[in-house]
Amino acid sequence: MQVANILECRMVTGDELLYVGFNQDHGCFACGTKSGFVVYNSYPLKIKQRRVIQGLSSGCSKVEMLYRCNFLALVGRESCPQLPSTKVAVWDCETRQVAAELAFSSDVRRVRLSRDRIVVALDTMVKVFTFTRPPQQSFVFESGPNPNGLLVLSPSYQNVVIAFPSRKVGYVTLIRLIAEGANDEKEIEAHKGKLAQIAISQDGKLLATASAKGTLIRIWNTATLEKVYELRRGVSDAFTYSINFSSDCSLLCSLSSRGTCHIWKLADVQDKKSLLDGRRSVAQVQIPDFVQKSGFDPSVEPYQCAFTPDMKRLLVICDNGTYHRYRLRLAKGQEPLHEHSVNFLSQS
């Protein structure tokens, strides 16, 4: 049965959250649930659309947005015949039909969209396709084992950068797409241990990496491969759930399994030595009622943090369907002010 024939509009309350992901400018976020997907405006918080996938037995594991346009990339879970974990369905919200499908022999670990490309991470490779009907395969790159689906794609037309784990532990492969059919491939020795999280700035110039230990975040210049910042989250090990840059790259936020979201200023340090001394965050918030997990389940991704597009607020989304909003007061040297918390899955 085609996915196009089984998607319909319906309201569902109390749904189980499987996935959360912001769009490229953090103005919206999409949720994968046991019944389908929901798209929200980030601030002010409101539902943009909700869809139920009829007959979906295990849920929607990935929902990737392309800014605010009408296309979403959907991936299912396990062996659901309507939307399996081995297929990417590009859903057109205007026509309520599948615009394109990509099928693979192994599970899709991540999918990223730009206006002209679809990039898919599998267990040990990354595939790049044109965003056309039908999509055409442009490149195939080998990666290290990637069960957590670490993959970033810069949204910039002028600086198209793809990054993912290398075959060497702790290394990142950096691909700069120069032209159709041409690319520049390099490696960064980011950490000694396994990678836990990566993030890229909107202009594609900076790449952030965190290891499984979770005490340090390093930021790299994607053109020179130079380490430009080293940031310390803490001294105790923690899993890094989410990292995001602000729209102008002046701020970085990170949410860990300790239930703490840290914020660093990146633009106010002139002394190069102080950039690399493991500087601590300038602000942090403890997420209310956060339940610390003993491990990380790559099949469920319900933790995210990001700045609003105007960089005046911090948003945190958790696995129980709660949305937390904080007003930044960094110029005054004060901690972020908690403004609002709500269970967004219960909204109609």
The domain spans of the chain are 1-105
Whole-number Å distance between alpha carbons of 281 and 263 = 5
CA 298 – CA 1 distance, rounded (Å): 28
Question: Please, which residues bridge with residue 306 across strands?
Answer: 315
pLDDT tens digit string along 287-333? 987 766 655 555 456 799 999 999 999 999 998 899 999 999 998 78
**Which range is least confidently modeled, 86-90, 113-117, 145-149, 263-267?**
263-267
C-alpha 212/C-alpha 234 separation (Å) is 13
CA dihedral (18, 76, 38, 29) positive or negative: positive
- Find out whether 114 and 160 touch, Cβ atoms under 8 Å: yes
- Could you report the per-residue pLDDT of 99-142, keeping only the tens digit for each? 999 999 999 999 999 999 999 999 999 999 999 999 999 999 99
d(CA 276, CA 90) in angstroms, rounded, equals 41
Q: Is 345 helix (H, G, I), strand (E, B) or coil?
A: helix
- Nearest in space to 194 (alpha carbons), one of 158, 165, 215, 216: 165
How far apart (Å, rounded) are the C-alpha atoms in residues 330 and 316?
17
Q: What is the reported pLDDT for 105?
A: 96
pLDDT, residue 290, reads 75
Q: What is the mean pLDDT of residues 253-268?
A: 91
